[in-house]
């Protein structure tokens, strides 16, 4: 994947992605020019192994306190 950002942003993104998988290859940082001066681009190849999740947490037991959004009605075009 191509990453673009400041050196600090690229460092943070590379660390976060490495924590999610394994960095198979990291290219050379290339400085950008023009309106993107001060930023760089970096090619990063990452391998991520899919793992099976355990039981997913369930949602709330009720919808008490939930907000109802007024979605448009397909027939009238107005709020339902």
pLDDT digits (tens, 9 = 90+) for 42-58: 999 988 887 776 666 66
pLDDT at residue 80, rounded to an integer: 47
pLDDT at residue 26, rounded to an integer: 92
Q: What pLDDT band is residue 69 in, cutting at 50, 70 and 90?
A: low
Range of 17-26, 46-55, 68-77 with top mean pLDDT:
17-26
Neighbours of 23 (CB within 10 A): 13
Cα–Cα dist 6/30, whole Å: 11
Global confidence as pTM = 0.58
Tell me the C-alpha to C-alpha distance, in Å, between residue 45 and each of 15, 23, 36, 55, 64. Answer: 13, 6, 23, 30, 45
Cα–Cα dist 53/70, whole Å: 35
- Report whether pLDDT(10) > 70: yes
Cα–Cα dist 51/21, whole Å: 11
């Amino acid at each position: 994947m191509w990453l673009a950002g400041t050196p600090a942003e690229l460092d943070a993104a590379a660390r976060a992605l490495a924590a999610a998988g394994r960095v198979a290859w990291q290219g050379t940082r290339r400085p950008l020019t023009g309106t993107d001066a001060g930023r760089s681009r970096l090619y990063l190849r990452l391998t991520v192994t899919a793992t099976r999740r355990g039981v997913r947490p369930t949602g709330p037991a009720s919808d008490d306190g939930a907000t109802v959004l007024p979605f448009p009605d397909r027939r009238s075009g107005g709020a339902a």
